Structure 1
Amino acid sequence: MAFLGAPSCDDYGNANGYTGKSFCGSLGYAKIDAEYADKVVLITDNLVPYPNVPASIEQNNVDYVVKVDAIGDPKGIASGATRYTKNPRELLIAQYAAEAIEASGYFVPGFSIQSGSGGASLAVARFLREKMIEKDIKASFALGGITGQFVEMQKEGLISKICDVQSFDLIAAKSIGENPDHYEISSSLYANPHNNGCISNKLDIVILSALEVDTDFNVNVITGSDGVIRGASGGHCDTAAGAKLSMIVCPLIRGRIPTVVKKVNTVITPGETVDVVVTDRGIAVNPLRKDLLEKFKKAKLPVCTIEELREKAEEITGKPKAIEYGDKIVGVVEYRDGTIIDVIKQVK
């Protein structure tokens, strides 16, 4: 069964996420739940006259509609644009990342981009905005979880289209119902490798975060330094595989724990799909991308090997004590093609 919150819904189950007091923007993930679940229950606090169109979820995929007083607390969504960092370390990472993108060869008129909602990722987009204005470069589309920052850049004429699978703040959530060039897309259209073509495969540049990166460029975004599951990975591995330039931005050290390690706790995004790792102490390029390494050296960027980054981190922190696991498997990591690439064991 799928129980789905619907900010606006009629009595037959036509629903969208961009009207009503609890508007949240794109229902990109819920659309697929509604399509595939055996039974679908829409829960709404805003029952409107039939037909509620355009509908993100259509009535032929809905079994029940339940009216309640409130489907959630709208304060849980960022009220303005997602935060702009003032952290000097995050700004340095973002500056390095923007300079690397500029030197990569993919920063050309009509490029496409996805950026995360973390402080450094958002700051990269800010630095790129300045470069886009300076060089009169406009992006063809922005993809993914969308922030108000991309909405503002679109209003400035810097981004032609926005493809939104998940609205990260209220500015983006409102825009999707007002702007015909701000499209709501399903998670399948976003990143499904088994359909006839997902938009992730059209990405030029993706900027992603990481909890850990290892010396084989494998990335962990699920389990923390204590081995405990933190949250979902979204389209991390999908966009890394699809984009021409997949870039990880992260501090070298986070909370006295090294981010660049010999082996990650959990492999979520395989190293062969990661091109560049940008930290505050240097930029590492995957040996598979010798073309990027040459371009970065020519641009005089602070390039080093991934092993050197690990050594720099351990010189400061020492080697953290290894996490002790039991035998019980509490999670299985399924890659985007359906193969199992790792397991998560219970921490002792």
Structure 2
Amino acid sequence: MRNAAGRELPSYIEGYGQVTPFKGERENPILKPKTSVKESVVLPGDSKVLNSIDEALDRLNLKDGITISFHHHLRNGDYVLNMVMDKIAERGIKDITIAASSIFPVHKPLLGHMENGVVTKIIASYISGPVAEAISNGKLENPVIMQTHGGRGRSIESGDVKIDIAFVAAPTADTYGNINGVEGNAACGALGYAVADCQYGDKVVAITNNLVPYPACPIEISQIYVDYVVKVDSIGDPKGIVSGTTQITKDPIGLKIAKMASKVMEVSGLVKEGMSFQTGAGGISLAVAKELENIMKRDNIKGSFASGGITGYIVDMVEQGLFKGLLDVQCFDLKAVQSYKTNKNHQGMSASIYGNPHNKGAVVNNLDIVILGATEIDRDFNVNVSTGSDGVIMGGSGGHSDTAAGAKLTVIVSNLIKARLPVIKEKVTTATTPGESIDVLVTERGIAVNPRRQDLIEKLKEAKLPVMTIDELKDIAEKLTGKPKEIETDEKIVAVVEYRDGTVIDVIKKVK
């Protein structure tokens, strides 16, 4: 069996996550209750409010082997996951699966729970920091499952991932369980990654440091999904939302790459009235957004929408009238949080609406252009954003594969050489996004276009842009750095990388 990048997978992976054609009458998940009428318990408003996490755990069906979920909108400022896990560990519960939308360095206390058998499996779209390093070194009993953001929504809605208890960090909640992310001192903006957890989790516990009288306004997640509300002193530090790079690069090489990427967009013919756009929060990607802003102002172009995780730079473009609206699954900085609170054209969306390939209208399918980064890219345009060149987990797809598959033009922007290593490899260390979804690689030394896009190659050459084959760019890099040695790995699989539809695109092995 081979993955989407053409790599042979172990025989025991065969059949994992394969999609079975549906036969028969499909149940409507909106109309279907979580429990039968006899099993359901309808609580009056204030009866949902509990005094502590311990009291909530007393009322929940805690047992070995359960799956619990968390969302990551507070990013590296989140306190809730650690608080809950410490309380559960005190009760001697073992063999827990954590279905977190992402794991950050702040979640380092999970290492102790992994070592003592409290946590034996993790499902996430992104993992960085000490937990990622420990998993790469084989410290987790079972392989982590790495999903895309849209794939996570799909898996929860389809029942592939069944959540027993969802713990929701709620910047604001009222006494009946209505939640929003725009009020309170831990306001983080859109709560798109928590929506599926609340709608499909068997039990849902909102944990808030801002408990307000009923009703909380605005309401982003409804009381109909929430079983209990717990008031705590703090759910996290909103400054931790701005983790990683969320500033336009000042590096001349990065700015050169951004300028060339903007010319690629122009020549493609997609920068026009009604266009849609998404970019990441990396320094070069944000510089591309700035270049696009200049082009749109110059040519008096007004786009339809920008989407994804939203930064203040994209907010600025909307406030200048360059886009009609924003579709937001998470806010990357505090300016985006404020915009989400006050601008009616700044709309929230769930991860499923954003990128689920099995619903009837994922937003990514309406994208014209997406700008993405890469840890590595290979001769077949497969992209790695899951591991470093040393094989250690340092991220994950997030929305990478979702947007790459949906957009009309997918552009990878990257320095040709990173940390004295070429970004282009014979085969990527880990395949995250398949090459069939990638259209263009833009580096400071030249532009490589996927041979599938002959139309684009002709347009770029006519525009006198420095078009090369990806092999030519690879040779240039290796003349400067030498050919890197292949990393050595153990046979133990520490992670299974799922594509957005649930099929396996690659596996990650323990580093030596």
TM-based fold match above 0.5? yes
Bigger Cα Rg: 2
- By how many angstroms is 1:232 displaced? 2.8
1:228 to 384, 392, 403: 392
**Pairing of 1:5-24 with structure 2 (within 5 A):** 5-24=169-188
- Residue aligning to 1:344: 508
Shift of 1:78: 3.0
Match of 1:270 in 2: 434
**Which of 311, 315, 319 in structure 1 is aligned with 2:483?**
319
Displacement over 3 Å in runs of 4+ = none
Q: 1:54 deviation in Å?
A: 2.7
Alignment of 1:173-184 (within 5 A): 173-184=337-348
Task: Please list, as runs of the form range in 1=range in 2, the aligned pairs for 1:198-217 lying within 5 A after superposition.
Answer: 198-217=362-381
> Is 1:109 aligned to 2:273, yes or no?
yes
**2-side partners of 1:258 and 1:11: how far apart?**
55
**How many Å separate the matches in 1 of 2:316 and 2:403?**
23
Could you state the TM-score of these two structures normalised by the residue count of structure 2? 0.67
1:119 aligned residue (283, 287, 297): 283
Residue 194 of structure 1 is matched in structure 2 by 358
Alignment partners' CA distance in 2, 1:187 and 1:127? 28
Task: Give the structure 2 partner of residue 98 of structure 1.
Answer: 262
CA displacement, residues 219-245 of structure 1 (integer Å, 9 cap, x when unaligned): 000000110111232111011000000
Alignment root-mean-square deviation, CA: 1.2
Which residue of 204, 220, 224 maps to 1:60? 224
Displacement after TM superposition at 1:160 (Å): 0.5
Aligned-residue offset at 1:302: 1.0
The one-letter code sitting in structure 1 at the alignment partner of 2:386 is: I
Verify: 1:138 aligned to 2:307, yes or no.
no
Q: Match for 2:314: what amino acid?
A: F
Letter in 1 for 2:444: D
Offset, 1:17: 0.7
For residue 187 of structure 2, give the secondary structure of its aligned residue in structure 1.
coil
Task: Judge conservation of contact 2:397–2:433 (CA < 8 Å) in 1.
Answer: no
Other-structure match for 1:70: 234
Range with greater deviation from structure 2 (36-45 or 278-287): 36-45
Following the alignment from structure 1 to structure 2, what is the Cα–Cα distance between the partners of residues 16 and 304? Answer: 49
Q: Deviations over 1:160-204 (max 9, x none)?
A: 010001100000011111000000100000000111111100000
Q: Secondary structure of the residue that 1:107 maps to in structure 2?
A: coil
DSSP 3-state at the match of 1:176: helix
d(CA) in 1 for partners of 2:353 and 2:242?
A: 26
The CA distance in 2 between the partners of 1:137 and 1:340, in whole Å, is 41
In structure 1, distance between residues paired with 2:173 and 2:396: 27
> Residues of 2 paired with 1:4 and 1:344: CA distance?
30
Aligned with 1:164 (options 313, 325, 328): 328
- Superposition map of 1:223-262 within 5 A: 223-262=387-426
Code of the residue aligned with 1:197 in structure 2: it is G
Higher relative contact order (CA 8 A, sep 6+): 2
Counterpart in the other structure of 2:144: none
2-structure distance, mates of 1:96, 1:40: 47
Q: How many Å apart are 1:53 and its aligned residue?
A: 3.1
1:120-154 CA deviation, whole Å, 9 max, x = no partner?
Answer: 00000101111111111111100101010111111
Q: Distance in 2 between matches of 1:37 and 1:323?
A: 40
Structure 2: state its 5+ residue gaps.
1-164
Q: 1:38-93: per-residue Cα shift (whole Å, max 9, x none)? A: 222211110011111332211111122111111111221239x9312111111011
Q: Which amino acid aligns with 1:174?
A: Q
